[in-house]
Structure 1
Amino acid sequence: MSDQNAPLPAEPKPATPAMASTAPPFRDLAAVRAEIDRIDDALHDLLMQRADLVAHMAASRLKNGAPTFRPGREALILRRLLQRNRGALARPALVRFWREMIAASLAQQGNFTVAIPAETGEDSCARLARAHFGVLTPLKLHSTPFRALAAVAGGESAVAILPPPEDAERPDPAWWMQMEAPRLRVVAALPFLAAPDASPQGYAIATLAPEPTGRDRSLIRIEPGADHSRPRIAALLTAAGLPPRWLIRRESPLPMALAEVPGFLAEDDSRLAALPFPRLTILGTYAEPEPEA
C-alpha cells in the first residue's frame, strides 16, 4: 500500500522475475479468452483484498496520525515494479495502472483533492494531475498558482500541481519566489516517467516532510549577491558538489535564482553552509523520475 506507516526501505535492486512472461501456446481464440477471463478474476480478487487492507488501515489506529500521501513511498513502489516488469506490458501502462490504484487508496483514507491553477495548453497542470492522481480524484481550480498554494497551506487541498519555473523574465513574481518554505514543500516532479534529460512539466507541492528514496533531486531558491550572475551561481554550486541540472535567475521584483541539483538535501547539509549567498532556501526534495523505456 502506498501509505503504510513504516520507514521508507532502501531502494531495491533489480529483481529476477518470479515467473516467465511468456503466454501459454493457445491455438484456439476461445481458450485464450477464457484464460484472460480467469486472470481478470484473479486480478479482481487481489484488488478487492488490497482495498480491504487499505480500509482496515484507515479505520484502525495503525497509521498513528501519519500522512496518507507519501510521494517517496509511492516512487519506491513504482520503481520496484518497473524493475521487475518483463514481457509485453509497457512501462507507461504499468505506471498508469498503479497510479490509479494508489489514487483509489488515497480516496479511501480521506478527502483527497488536488489544487490546480487555471491555464490552458498541452502540458497543463490538469493533465498532469489526472495522469498522476487518477481520473476520479477531485481537482479544484484556482485563479492563480498563489491561490492554489494557499489552498494547500490552509488544508483545503492535499496537494497543488503547479507549472514549471520559466526562464523568461516577467514583471510579476513567480510562485517559487514567494512559496512559504518549509511549511510548503515541492514533493514530486511530474511526470514520473520521462526522458533522461527532460525537465519536469510540473511540480507537486504539499505540507509534507520529505523522505529520501535513494535517487532524488532538490530545488534550492537563492537570493544572490550583486556579483552573482547566473554563470557565477552555477560555478559556485558545482564547486560545492551541487552541479545544477538547470538554473534560472529572475531580476523582478527582486533578484532571485532557482536551481535543481542532484541528491537529497537536508537543512544541515555542510555544502549549503559553505555557499556565499546572502540567503538560500530548500524548496523541496523529490524522487528522480524514471526513464520511459
Structure 2
Amino acid sequence: MSSPEPTPDERLDVLRQQIDTIDDELHDLIVRRTELVERVGEIKRDAWGQVSFIRPGREARMLRRLNAQHRGRFPRPVLLRLWREMIIGSLCLEGPFSVAVFDGRGDGEFWDLSRDHFGSFAPMRAHRSATEVVTEISAGSATVGVLPVPGSHHANDDAHWWRALFSERPGTPKVIARLPFVRMPNSRAQDLDGLVISALDPEPTGDDRSLIAVELEGSEISRDRLFEGFERAGLRARWIDSHVTGGPANLRTHLLEVPEFVAADDERLARLRNSFPDVAARVIAIGGYATPLTLDELRYPAPPVG
C-alpha cells in the first residue's frame, strides 16, 4: 500500500524548515564576517590610528560584482540594499563614521537619499546650507557630506558649493561618490542626485567620472574654447557649472566632468593648464566617483499586481 501524498501544510512545513536552516546559516556567516571585519579594524588602527576607513571605490566594485553575478527573481535593488546596510554596519565597527547631510529646503529628500546609501545605522546630521556641510568635513566633525549636484535645481543658492573644494591645501575635501549608486524604486524623489565629499581621495574602480575645475584670470573665453583646451590635453569633457568672481582680474571658475578617473597628479592636468596661454589658469581635480548602476543593470521582475 503506497503512502499517502503529503498535504499542502506538510509540504509547506518542509520548505519552511529549509528556509529556517538557510536563515541560520546566513546569520552564522554574518557573525563570522563581522569577526573578520573587527580583525581588519584592529590591524588598521594599529597601523594608522583612529581614522575612518571608508572605501567608496571598493564598495562600488563589490556591488557591481554582486549585481553581475545575481540570478533568480529576488529584486536586485533589495539585494544591493542589504549589502549596503552590511557594509556600513561593518564600517562603523572599524572606526568613527558619520554623515553630514544638506537639507536646504527642509523637506528631508537628501536625508532619504543619504539613508538609502549609508544605511539605517550610520549617525547622520542635517544642515541647512552646503557651507555648513563642507565645514563639518573640513573640521573632521563628520566623515562624509552629502550635497546637491552643482547646477541642479536642488542646489538653489548653494549651487557653487564646489568652489570650496578648489584648493590644493592638504585636507581639502574631495568628491568621492555620487548618489544614488543604486536608485531605489520607491524613492520619493526619483530625479534627485547628490555628491558625497570627504577628506579622503577618490580611487579608481574601472568605470568612473572625474570633476575638474578650471580657474581663468584675464580675457573671457567661450565654452567651445574651453572644450577645445580639454581635448588638446587628451580629455573629453562635459560642462557642469561656472562661477564668476569678476573684479579687476575678471576671475572665472568652470566645473567640468570627464568620463574616466583622473588623479590629482595626472599629467593631462598640466597640459590643460597650458592650453590657455593668453590667460592665467589654475586647474584642480576636485574628485570623482564610480559611475552608478543604470536602470537596465538593476532590472528585476515586476511584482505581481493584485
Q: Same fold (TM over 0.5)?
A: yes
1:112 paired to 2:104: no
1:186 paired to 2:169: no
Residues in 2 aligned to 1:51 and 1:75: alpha-carbon distance in whole angstroms: 20
User: Residues 97 and 247 from structure 1, CA distance in 2 versus in 1: closer, same or farther, beyond 3 angstroms?
Assistant: same
Question: 1:140 maps to what in 2?
Answer: 125
Deviation track 1:158-215 (CA, whole Å, cap 9, x = no partner) reads 11011110167987772101225452110001111369xx998111111112221121
Residues in 2 aligned to 1:138 and 1:290: alpha-carbon distance in whole angstroms: 25
Question: 2:230 maps to what in 1?
Answer: 237
From 78, 81, 86, the equivalent of 1:93 is 78
Question: 2:27 maps to what in 1?
Answer: 44
Relative to structure 2, which stretch is displaced further, 111-120 or 151-160? Answer: 111-120
Question: 2:38 maps to what in 1?
Answer: 55
Structure of greater Rg: 2
From 202, 205, 211, the equivalent of 1:210 is 202
User: Residues 270 and 160 from structure 1, CA distance in 2 versus in 1: closer, same or farther, beyond 3 angstroms?
Assistant: same
From 242, 250, 257, the equivalent of 1:249 is 242
1:193 is paired with a residue whose SS is coil
1:218 is paired with a residue whose SS is strand
Offset at 1:228? 2.1
1:211 is paired with a residue whose SS is coil
Unaligned runs of 5+ in 1: 1-25
**Within 5 A, what are the aligned runs for 1:12-27?**
none
TM-score computed with the length of structure 1 as normaliser: 0.80
Residues in 2 aligned to 1:167 and 1:290: alpha-carbon distance in whole angstroms: 20
Unaligned runs of 5+ in 2: 1-8, 185-189, 299-306
Determine if contact 1:170/1:252 at 8 Å carries over to the other structure.
Answer: no
User: Residues 130 and 231 from structure 1, CA distance in 2 versus in 1: closer, same or farther, beyond 3 angstroms?
Assistant: same
Relative to structure 2, which stretch is displaced further, 242-251 or 148-157? Answer: 242-251
Determine if contact 1:187/1:286 at 8 Å carries over to the other structure.
Answer: yes
1:81 is paired with a residue whose SS is helix
Deviation track 1:224-272 (CA, whole Å, cap 9, x = no partner) reads 3533222332233234332224432233565221111111112332322
The runs of at least 4 aligned residues of structure 1 exceeding 4 Å deviation read 60-63, 167-173
1:160 paired to 2:145: yes
Relative to structure 2, which stretch is displaced further, 180-189 or 55-64? Answer: 55-64
**Within 5 A, what are the aligned runs for 1:262-273?**
262-273=259-270
2:47 is paired with a residue whose SS is coil
Residues in 2 aligned to 1:217 and 1:189: alpha-carbon distance in whole angstroms: 9
Give the counterpart letter for 2:164 in structure 1. Answer: Q
Determine if contact 1:96/1:131 at 8 Å carries over to the other structure.
Answer: yes
Give the counterpart letter for 2:42 in structure 1. Answer: A
Determine if contact 2:52/2:143 at 8 Å carries over to the other structure.
Answer: no
More helix by share: 2
Q: Report how many residues are paired.
A: 266
2:20 is paired with a residue whose SS is helix
1:259 paired to 2:256: yes
2:213 is paired with a residue whose SS is strand
Residues in 2 aligned to 1:291 and 1:179: alpha-carbon distance in whole angstroms: 28
Determine if contact 1:167/1:248 at 8 Å carries over to the other structure.
Answer: no
User: Residues 91 and 215 from structure 1, CA distance in 2 versus in 1: closer, same or farther, beyond 3 angstroms?
Assistant: same
Question: 2:303 maps to what in 1?
Answer: none
Give the counterpart letter for 1:233 in structure 2. Answer: L
User: Residues 239 and 123 from structure 1, CA distance in 2 versus in 1: closer, same or farther, beyond 3 angstroms?
Assistant: farther
Question: 2:4 maps to what in 1?
Answer: none
